[in-house]
């Protein structure tokens, strides 16, 4: 029994010491499983199963994204348990207004962040691989809202993943409908513990993300 324990501990240490070319420590699948045994709040939750009615449009599982590459093998959306619970409460409020949440991306393996940076090095719009992103911690949601009756997305300042200044939440909007929609999504998400990203109206960080580690676990290893 002692030998088995030593082997497991050595494995964790080796994984813990392993660093990528950017020098950032990432958490492996073994470490992640150990962490949720200690603290179940750190579990990555399948949002499609957890939030009734949520719609997925996982762009990075297709070539319809700024890289023009298929980054993910599975079209899945995960988030840490408290993030998922807060998002579910936001969905409940949106639904009272006849609206639903559409998710473009949520938890993102660190290796994807590295690829984004290699394709587009402007860290105004992509996370630095030297620090990792809130997505890598399972604490960020890329999303929009849509009309439950028609299925159509509400008009927003730009399309998803726009690298234009019009995508910044602080940029003035002349169209009153677009302004109303942007204010609505930001206001509801703020109410449930999220903060909009300064350069992306669709990106919401969960307040308290600092408590969670940067993960580099593929969706295939999370799926049951």
Per-residue pLDDT of 16-56, as tens digits, reads 444 578 889 999 999 999 999 999 999 999 999 999 999 99
Query: Is residue 31 included in any domain, yes or no?
Result: no
Q: Who wins on pLDDT, 198 or 13?
A: 198
* Total number of domains in the chain: 1
Residue 7 clears pLDDT 50, i.e. is over it: no
* Residue 91 burial (10 A CB sphere; 0-12, 13-18, 19+): buried
* Mean pLDDT, rounded, for 194-201: 97
The residue length of the chain stands at 224
Candidates 211, 218, 220, 224; CA nearest to 35 is 211
The residue written with tokens 């957890």 in the block is 50
Report the DSSP pairing between strands 55-56 and 99-105.
parallel
- C-alpha–C-alpha distance, residues 191 and 96, integer Å: 15
Give the SS3 label for residue 215.
Answer: strand
* Residue 174 burial (10 A CB sphere; 0-12, 13-18, 19+): exposed
CATH no. for residue 93? 3.30.1380.10
Sign of CA dihedral 148, 149, 152, 156: negative
Domain with 66, as residue range(s), is 44-222
Query: Is residue 206 included in any domain, yes or no?
Result: yes
Query: Is residue 153 included in any domain, yes or no?
Result: yes
Residue 9 clears pLDDT 80, i.e. is over it: no
Provide the pLDDT for residue 14: 42
Under a CB-based contact definition with an 8 Å cutoff, are residues 169 and 195 in contact? no
∠ CA 194-196-44, nearest 5°, is 45
* Mean pLDDT, rounded, for 86-106: 98
Query: Is residue 18 included in any domain, yes or no?
Result: no
Other CB atoms within 10 A of residue 90 CB = 23
Query: Is residue 120 included in any domain, yes or no?
Result: yes
Judge if pTM exceeds 0.85.
yes
Per-residue model confidence as pLDDT tens digits over 137-196: 999 999 999 999 999 999 999 999 999 999 999 999 999 999 999 999 999 999 999 999
* Residue 116 burial (10 A CB sphere; 0-12, 13-18, 19+): buried
Query: Is residue 32 included in any domain, yes or no?
Result: no
Provide the pLDDT for residue 3: 46
Under a CB-based contact definition with an 8 Å cutoff, are residues 137 and 216 in contact? no
Under a CB-based contact definition with an 8 Å cutoff, are residues 51 and 79 in contact? no
- C-alpha–C-alpha distance, residues 16 and 33, integer Å: 13
Query: Is residue 119 included in any domain, yes or no?
Result: yes
Provide the pLDDT for residue 122: 74
Under a CB-based contact definition with an 8 Å cutoff, are residues 127 and 198 in contact? no
Query: Is residue 104 included in any domain, yes or no?
Result: yes
Residue 5 clears pLDDT 90, i.e. is over it: no
């Amino acid at each position: 029994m002692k030998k088995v324990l030593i082997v497991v501990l050595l494995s964790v240490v080796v994984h813990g010491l392993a660093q990528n070319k950017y020098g950032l420590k990432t958490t492996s699948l073994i470490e992640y499983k150990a962490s949720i045994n200690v603290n179940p709040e750190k579990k990555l939750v399948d949002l499609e199963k957890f939030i009734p009615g949520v719609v997925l449009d996982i762009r990075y599982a297709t070539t319809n994204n700024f890289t023009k590459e298929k980054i993910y093998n599975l079209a899945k959306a995960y988030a840490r348990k408290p993030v998922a619970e807060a998002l579910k409460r936001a969905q409940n409020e949106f639904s009272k207004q006849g609206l639903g949440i559409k998710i473009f991306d949520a938890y993102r393996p660190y290796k994807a962040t590295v690829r984004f940076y290699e394709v587009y090095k402007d860290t105004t719009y992509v996370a630095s691989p030297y620090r990792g992103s809130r997505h890598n911690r399972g604490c960020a949601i890329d999303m929009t809202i849509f009309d439950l009756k028609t299925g159509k997305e509400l008009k927003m300042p730009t399309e998803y993943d726009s690298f234009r200044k019009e995508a910044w939440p602080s940029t003035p909007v002349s169209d009153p409908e677009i302004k109303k929609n942007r204010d609505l999504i930001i206001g509801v998400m703020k109410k449930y513990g999220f903060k909009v990203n300064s350069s992306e109206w669709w990106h919401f960080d969960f307040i308290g993300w600092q408590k969670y580690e940067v993960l580099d676990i593929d969706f295939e290893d999370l799926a049951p």
